[in-house]
Amino acid sequence: MHSRTRIKVCGITTVEDAKEAIRAGVDAIGFIFAEKSPRYISPEKVKEIVAQLPPFVHLVGVFVDSDPVEVQEIIDYCGLTHVQLHGSEDAEYCQKLAQAATPCRLLKAFRVGSQTMAADFTPYEDSVKGYLLDTFVQGQEGGTGKAFDWSMIESLGLKLPILLAGGISVENVAAAIKTVRPFAVDVNSGVEEEPGKKDHAKLQQFVELVRSVDRELASAV
């Protein structure tokens, strides 16, 4: 039985984009705290945006190899519900942060390239709630706009929910859902006018497309 594909829209930098994403029907919005990102947003700005949002929306902070004490402070300050660890944080880092950050939940990103094929996911199973699979591109931390070969995911034998990221857009999200059947899709540069500014029409189209694929899969015998 197919269940609804959750949608996370990442790289939100304005209250207008956050409200529009929620109006369109996304489940989660992501804020990027990696300073090198063109989508970087300060904790102060996130707090200001979050104060203006309705309830029942997941709020995800994206970090790349940040000091765990700083991550904890930002979780508390902004009221984040989830943290996406998008660097090379090891299982020990995740275990310690998971204990300190509860009830905020952790998602561990893996950038799929030749190394990920051999990655051992097992040590993360107790401390994170899902694996976000993104595309590995040398020299870039994330937000590459490039998809990877989804057919290799099955061979990883993952035991936690999969959040599929990496170049997801209106062009490929239907195929992505049908191929991978992920718990969630993560869209970022695929619905942008420019880095950090969402295209509202594309965002709406993206959400409608995901819902229509969900209906199709739910009605299939």
Ligand X SMILES: O=C(O)c1ccccc1N[C@@H]1O[C@H](COP(=O)(O)O)[C@@H](O)[C@H]1O
Report the nearest approach of ligand X to the CB of residue 146 (Å). 6
Nearer to ligand X, 39 or 198 (CB): 39
Q: How many residues bind ligand X (CB under 6 A)?
A: 27
Q: Contact, 113 vs 136, CB < 8 A?
A: yes
Catalytically active residues are 10, 134
Instruction: Quote the tokens at residue 108.
Output: 């561990």
| Per-residue contact string for residues 158-187; x = within reach of ligand X by CB under 6 A | -------xxxx-----------------xx
Q: What is the footprint of ligand X within residues 114-133 (CB under 6 A)?
A: 132
CB atoms within 10 A of CB 177: 21
Instruction: Quote the tokens at residue 103.
Output: 């009830």
Q: Contact, 43 vs 76, CB < 8 A?
A: no
Report the nearest approach of ligand X to the CB of residue 32 (Å). 5
Q: Contact, 98 vs 44, CB < 8 A?
A: no
Report the nearest approach of ligand X to the CB of residue 169 (Å). 8
Q: Is 196 in the site for ligand X (CB under 6 A)?
A: no
Instruction: Quote the tokens at residue 180.
Output: 């991978």
Instruction: Quote the tokens at residue 111.
Output: 């950038």
Instruction: Give strand pairing partners of 62.
Output: 32, 84
Site residues, ligand X (CB under 6 A): 10-11, 30, 32, 34, 37-39, 62, 64, 86, 132, 134, 141-145, 165-168, 186-190
